[in-house]
């Protein structure tokens, strides 16, 4: 199991617009259609927006990176960011070494 974390720096005052773009374009839902994607979270502060996802393995994340709709919003997305992203932008990859949850709590 791996976790990926993509860090984006929104332009000043644009964090809400960035989160709204993810909502409006159903980007999380699209990622969840990829076989091996377990969950996706968008974590937001005024300085950063993190997209954290859990994948079965590297192959599952590679399927997302190759997804035909993955880069569909890059032009609009880059209008909201200090540092642009491209088709080759990907998140850091981490092995899930330990995990815990209180499902339903």
Average pLDDT per consecutive 10 residues, the chain (105 residues; last block may be shorter) = 97 97 96 97 97 97 93 93 91 92 74
- Structural domain boundaries, residue 73: 2-95
Domain count within the chain: 1
Indicate whether 16 belongs to any domain.
yes
Residue 59, token pair as written in the block: 């192959």
Indicate whether 68 belongs to any domain.
yes
Task: Give the CATH number, domain containing residue 68.
Answer: 3.30.70.100
- Cβ atoms within 10 Å, residue 99: 8
Contact 36, 57 (CB under 8 A): yes
Alpha helix (H) residue ranges in 25-73: 27-32, 58-65
Indicate whether 103 belongs to any domain.
no
pTM above threshold 0.85? yes
Q: Can you give the pLDDT at residue 60?
A: 97
Q: Can you give the pLDDT at residue 103?
A: 75
Residue 47, token pair as written in the block: 């300085």
Indicate whether 101 belongs to any domain.
no
């Amino acid at each position: 199991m791996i976790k990926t974390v993509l860090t984006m720096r929104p332009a000043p005052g644009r964090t809400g617009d960035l989160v709204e773009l993810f909502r409006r374009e159903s980007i999380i839902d699209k990622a969840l259609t990829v076989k091996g994607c377990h969950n996706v979270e968008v974590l937001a502060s005024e300085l950063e927006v993190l997209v954290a996802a859990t994948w079965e393995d590297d192959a599952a994340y590679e399927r997302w990176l190759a997804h035909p709709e993955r880069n569909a919003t890059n032009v609009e997305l880059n209008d909201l960011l200090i540092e642009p992203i491209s088709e080759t932008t990907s998140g850091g990859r981490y092995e899930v070494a330990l995990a815990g949850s209180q499902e339903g709590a």
